[in-house]
Structure 1
Amino acid sequence: MRAVPSDHVVPPPFAEFSRTAAKIGLVSFGGPAGQIALMHREMVDERGWVDEEQFLQALNLCNLLPGPEAQQLATWIGWKLHGWKGGLVAGGLFVLPGALVMLALSILYGFATGMEWFQAIFLGIKAAVLAIVAQALIRIASRALHTPFQIALAIAAFLALFLFAAPFPVVVLAALAIGAAAGARRPGWLAFKPTDQATPSGNRPWRATLVALVAWSAIWAAPLVTIRLALGPDHVLWQIGVFFSKLAVVTFGGAYAVLAYMAQEAVSGYGWLGAGEMADGLGLAETTPGPLILVTQFVGYMGAFRAPDPFSPVVAGVLGAVLTTWVTFAPCFMWIFALAPWMMRLQRAPAMKGALAGVTACVVGVIANLALWFALHVLFGRFRLADYGPVHLQVPDWASFDLAAGLIAVAAFTMIFVLKRGILFTLAVAAALGLVAGL
């Protein structure tokens, strides 16, 4: 099952590789761009364990898959150098430090959320999140939208979600299908070059793929089966496990792309937490190493913490957080171990590349919807529902506008877009401003 490295790259000793993977996991702040740059510096530039071409090809493969691309890239590097064992170590250590920090912060949040000083701090964090999401929207749009067709896909996705409340998985699947058709028949619509249309070639490692799919499907499902047998289908842990398992399949485009859908279901559908708490969770996730999708762990913790029977609140919350992390990242390992042997064929397939380009354009509209959703729920306290045929809108009550949140949001936008300060600095200043405003 072990991958064969290229002739001019010698796999490092496993212990040395593990130490480097742990180092990356501990300092992987800054979102996927910063995390991928860190891996490139450590694995390609400084140590030469993976060559430049392999690294870029693997990154393209990870962009095709649902889930956090940086974590999957770390898993691929481990698989390339030391097979399944290396993939487990590299992918696991990329997630574990951030997951532990996020769990500790979630426990603290669960106990302190009713305290005035704590609420004041998170007023500032929520306001800063508006600027952070806006920055992500601008960055992704500049990278993803190059043609009128891609811009139209982004606008269509935004309108479908914001005006017509279309289900997020349906929007993503539609973008995948449209992008695949355009990639195969109208590559110019996606700014593909003629050289991108090479015929896929190479061996077809069906056996390795089948083994990975069977093994990791069982690993993915094991805790869900246990919960179903022990606690039944009505328990919150079963609901959490099923929901985040579904979410893992449609998490294209990173955490920002699914936050609005996750928030809608977690807040309105299941009632696990409030809209403002969803923004709090994103603020916490921005302060931890590892992938931003760890915000799902916060949601799983709070959902189980507030419906703990037959456990204590903390035990239930920890179980919810661990279960959420399990069903979020087990599929990531499965995708890499099953599809990495097909990397060259996927890299050259026009339909697959088109599907990626289509969903990437769609993600811009999805994040625009998320930005507007967060802005409304952070800045306003009350809403009324307005129906205009198939259009469903939440109209804010202007009398409920939160002036303090608005001013802190302006300060956060200034820090990020004018002063060019980092996310951690912006969150810290916004939290301090929130505390001052609350006191």
Structure 2
Amino acid sequence: MPPEPPLTAPAPVGFWQAVRFWLKLGLISFGGPAGQIAIMHQELVERRRWISERRFLHALNYCMLLPGPEAQQLATYIGWLLHRGWGGVAAGALFVLPSFFLLVLLSWIYVAYGHLAWIAGLFYGIKPAVVAIVAQAAWRIGTRTLKRPWLWGVALASLCAIALWQTPFPLIVLTAALIGALAGRLRPQWFQADGHGGADAHFGPALIDDHTPPPAHARFSWLRLGRAALAGLLLWSLPMALLAAVYGWHGGFTQMGWFFTKAALLTFGGAYAVLPYVYQGAVAHYGWLSAGQMLDGLALGETTPGPLIMVVAFVGFVGGYAKVLLGPDHLFLAGALAAALVTWFTFLPSFIFILAGGPLIEHSHGQIRLTAPLTAITAAVVGVIANLALFFGWHVLWPQGWRGGVDWAASAIAALTAWALLKRQVKVMPVIAGAALAGLLLSLWRLS
């Protein structure tokens, strides 16, 4: 028989006690958004009982409505509930910082030593695994969200728009939102069952329980909203103004800040959804890195803890390093500074959305006029992610184009990865490790 749940709520959590947990979470948060949310549920709801099941899912609902990485925003939200603004900042920052420092190190190794045969072999195996991972993401999100024929139509139209006509990602998002708003007005019954289910599990009284009233700092007030929004505006505009003054508006660092600010506001659906937009800008428009390097960065992002959108740190590092933004004598510094800037401008909006708009979002959650456009956007995201899988598949499985023939070894690794993920439910990290080992062995065999 399972043990009886405790009868009393846990003792109040101190700020530094929470900080130690958020740091631990940042170091172990592998597995993408689903895995990260599962870890938080296990630690915060089941084990520590800092927040009840219903309140946890309620907070997750809010974060799903926002652009940005939902797992990082959920950590920020719970930290904010527990310890006001500084608690939210600590939780959200520590969710990101371990991944940032690790990616800067790996990015430097990649650009400085990526030509070495054994490193190239590792990436040879990881790349086809990433193709399967992205395809699995499209399948997973699609089966969860495309529950009506019109949503399948939106997803297919999105796939065609970006694959055949190179439609900009923001235009796809805007069109899907308008379609969803119209559907919500004409067919509101289509949206009655959307959202996360209720909370049936009970693990004993929680520190923030089902009926615990919101703390004073979580109650909406125009003064508090204005104060937080003004702080966010200053934290964005002052660095941007400084970059423009030092490097000019068209300077590399300034354009990175501006581009990734726009990317941060369009990340409905998580990292996989914004990657095509990042590709369009970073690869096709600015030329900060190549398509192959973008795929390598995604592979590194899959192997590190933290949100997958942290791949932007790799994009920034490679761009700053390759474009020699601080001169030939300071390549690492240019890459590290670019990585820090794009991370700042990518994640700053997520903090503002939670700290400034949390109470306001809570007030408006569940209204069809908001959920209908976002439901359509999620459907469009499925098509965009499917296109991303096709794009990566083309570059990895047919590296020389149709005339060059298929790379059968890479195809076999991709197929085995897809089988392991979809049929055997293997976690991402063992799959990536196995694919990297296979690529290394293949490369060594070819050299022998």
TM-score (norm 1): 0.89
**Which residue matches 1:51?**
52
Aligned length: 413
Deviation at 1:399, TM superposition (A): 2.0
Instruction: Give the 3 Å change call, closer, same or farther, for CA 334–276 of structure 1 in structure 2.
Output: same
> 1:320 pairs with 335, 338, 345, which one?
338
**Which residue matches 1:403?**
408
**Which residue matches 1:211?**
227
Instruction: Give the 3 Å change call, closer, same or farther, for CA 309–265 of structure 1 in structure 2.
Output: closer
**Which residue matches 2:166?**
165
Q: CA RMSD in A?
A: 2.1
Is 1:355 aligned with 2:373?
yes
| CA distance in structure 1 between the partners assigned to 2:29 and 2:288 by the alignment | 29
| CA distance in structure 2 between the partners assigned to 1:10 and 1:216 by the alignment | 33
> 2:351 pairs with 300, 323, 333, which one?
333
Q: 1:134-153 maps to which residues of 2 (within 5 A)? A: 134-153=135-154
Instruction: Give the 3 Å change call, closer, same or farther, for CA 407–215 of structure 1 in structure 2.
Output: same
Query: Residue 365 of structure 2 aligns to a residue in which SS?
Result: helix
| CA distance in structure 1 between the partners assigned to 2:339 and 2:219 by the alignment | 40
Deviation at 1:219, TM superposition (A): 0.8
Deviations 1:324-352, CA, capped at 9 Å, x for gaps: 11001111000111211123322132111
Gap runs ≥5 in structure 2: 1-8, 198-217
Is 1:30 aligned with 2:37?
no
Give the residue type in structure 2 aligned to 1:80: L
Q: 1:128-139 maps to which residues of 2 (within 5 A)? A: 128-139=129-140
Is 1:291 aligned with 2:307?
yes
Give the residue type in structure 2 aligned to 1:318: A
Q: 1:289-438 maps to which residues of 2 (within 5 A)? A: 289-311=305-327, 312-382=330-400, 396-438=401-443
Deviations 1:366-409, CA, capped at 9 Å, x for gaps: 11111111111112234xxxxxxxxxxxxx43325333322322
Instruction: Give the 3 Å change call, closer, same or farther, for CA 100–309 of structure 1 in structure 2.
Output: closer
Query: Residue 234 of structure 1 aligns to a residue in which SS?
Result: coil
> 2:241 pairs with 219, 222, 225, which one?
225
**Which residue matches 1:389?**
none
Deviation at 1:152, TM superposition (A): 1.2
Give the residue type in structure 2 aligned to 1:183: G
Deviation at 1:41, TM superposition (A): 1.8
Deviations 1:151-198, CA, capped at 9 Å, x for gaps: 11111111111111111011112222222332344123345379x9xx
Give the residue type in structure 1 aligned to 2:310: L
| CA distance in structure 1 between the partners assigned to 2:49 and 2:425 by the alignment | 33
Using the TM superposition, name which of 355-364 and 403-412 deviates more: 403-412
Deviation at 1:120, TM superposition (A): 2.0
Residue pair 1:10, 1:49 contacting (<8 A) in 2 also: no
Residue pair 2:263, 2:277 contacting (<8 A) in 1 also: no
TM-score (norm 2): 0.88
Identity percentage of aligned residues: 45
**Which residue matches 1:386?**
none
Instruction: Give the 3 Å change call, closer, same or farther, for CA 215–193 of structure 1 in structure 2.
Output: closer
**Which residue matches 2:210?**
none
Deviation at 1:18, TM superposition (A): 1.3
